[in-house]
Amino acid sequence: MTDAELCLGLSRHLSAYQMSPERAALEQLEFAGWTLDMAFRLEGSTTSSIRRVEAIGLDVGVGARNLKAVMAAMESLGWISVERDDSQMAVSITERIPSRGDLILAAPTLLETAMATPVERAALALLRATALQPLLIDDALQAATTGDGVDGDEQSAEAALRHLTHTGLVRHVVADDGREVLYNPNIWVQGDSIAQAALRAADARATREVTALLQELAESPGMPEEHVTSTERKWVDFAVSQGLVERSVVQTSDGGVERGFLFTPHLGRDPFGGSIADVSGHVRQLVGSMMYAATYAEFRLHAPEQFLRALINRGVAGNASPIGTDYPMLEKAGVVRVVNGISAGKYSLQLLQPEVAHDALKMLDAREGTGNESSDIAALRAQRAYVHVEKERARLALTAGVDEFEQARLIAALREVPVKRMFGGQP
């Protein structure tokens, strides 16, 4: 996640807490979040009266005193100009706010303007690291101390951990063997059991490999497994078996060939307690279906996002005879229904779950290189079955091969006498 997303989400999250030393210690991050929130809301409005700006500020949660500071910061950044009367009271503002993409890129400058402290910068790095994956406390604190503006200050990192733990953004778990794990409970909703995944990753020396995989998948949700370049297949299997990565499998009609599509558990969640939007797994199923059609089908779907957009706008899309006899597995999930097409002997898909298609379209639009040409829904006809992520994880536990060298290292690690690390102290 970018600094802009983290600051914006953090400010909204902290608004639910009464003022406390922990919230006050993150004040500059909260201020940066307010400033970004105001900028996003004012973008494109050209000129606004001060009453409108104040009303927006109140909705953001910014009172009159703090709003003056926010406006001053926006003015110093060149995002707004303020029209004042003879008594120097603000009357209106004219915005020159950058585009949303440029606003996100401007977050580092905003943090400098807000004079974010090393503790706050460590908090951003720690929040980002534990949102990406559960980590041993030493690995998480290392990520915090090496963050921009922290300069290796271990005390700042440990203070940041205390503040994030107090405000519910990081959970601290002590395992039975005394080792400590940190994770973001708003993304990793499995509970404290997810700490075992971090321990197993550490024991298998896989933490770095899993991190690289999660970063790659975060940029390309629904990536075909064969396209992964960040790590080896064995680490993909490891991440799936531990619940750190989700694999959707599409089985094709040409000899039962399986194609895997990978997601992170971050789908539909955010580090600040956003709702889980894909409990049923249908969004992943639809994205996997579209990516299969765009990647492996004999007649490829060159622009799956355009097809989905048409399906959403019209409710019906596609006009091909194979849909009637070898329909997509999506019909079994209740996402679509096969109906008669425009021409005799041809069939179309009727959308039954628009919210699933909307969420899938957001993911496809965010991907790079999905193409911009139209194609026919017949590309989906080779799909005959879908394996849900939970079933795939269970199946992997029964069938995954074991690397003998890595197993030896894991057994050796498990047989070591555990040394309990006292928080903030030395082994």
Residue indicated by tokens 């078996």:
241
Of residues 412, 419, 278, 421, the one with CA closest to residue 358: 278
Residue-level pLDDT at 331? 62
Residue 284 has pLDDT above 50, yes or no: yes
Portion of the chain with pLDDT greater than 70, in percent: 76
Mean pLDDT of 320-343: 66
Mean pLDDT of 149-175: 92
**What CATH number labels 119-211?**
1.10.10.10
Residue 283 has pLDDT above 90, yes or no: no
**Among the listed ranges 62-66, 207-211, 214-218, 389-393, which one has the minimum average pLDDT value?**
389-393
Cα 397–400–405 angle (5° rounding)? 115
CATH class name, domain 3-116: mainly alpha
The span from the CA of 167 to the CA of 173, in Å, is 16
Please give the mean pLDDT across all residues of the chain.
Answer: 78
Confidence of residue 240 (pLDDT cuts 50, 70, 90): confident
Residue 405 has pLDDT above 80, yes or no: no
- Top mean pLDDT of 127-131, 299-303, 369-373 is at 127-131
Residue-level pLDDT at 159? 95
Take residue 6 and report the two structure tokens written for it.
């983290």
Backbone angles phi, psi at 156, to 5 degrees: -65, -40
Give how far the C-alpha of residue 358 lies from the chain's centroid of Cα atoms, to the nearest Å.
17
Residue 227 has pLDDT above 80, yes or no: yes
Confidence of residue 322 (pLDDT cuts 50, 70, 90): low
Backbone angles phi, psi at 45, to 5 degrees: -85, -5
Residue-level pLDDT at 390? 47
Confidence of residue 108 (pLDDT cuts 50, 70, 90): very high
Mean pLDDT of 307-329: 73
Take residue 216 and report the two structure tokens written for it.
């790659």
Residue 251 has pLDDT above 80, yes or no: no
Please tell me the pTM assigned to this model: 0.62
pLDDT digits (tens, 9 = 90+) for 13-71: 888 888 888 999 999 999 999 999 888 888 888 888 898 889 888 888 899 999 999 99
Residue 111 has pLDDT above 90, yes or no: yes
Residue 375 has pLDDT above 50, yes or no: no
- Comparison of pLDDT for 344 and 369, the residue scoring more: 344
Residue-level pLDDT at 34? 94
User: What count of residues does the chain have?
Assistant: 427
Take residue 397 and report the two structure tokens written for it.
């536990």
- Comparison of pLDDT for 18 and 393, the residue scoring more: 18
Residue 393 has pLDDT above 90, yes or no: no
Residue-level pLDDT at 207? 83
Of residues 126, 151, 152, 119, the one with CA closest to residue 140: 126
Residue spans in the chain of domains classed CATH 1.10.10.10: 119-211
Residue-level pLDDT at 299? 61
- Comparison of pLDDT for 352 and 71, the residue scoring more: 71
Q: 140 to each of 121, 144, 380, how far by Cα in Å?
A: 14, 6, 43
Backbone angles phi, psi at 47, to 5 degrees: -115, 135
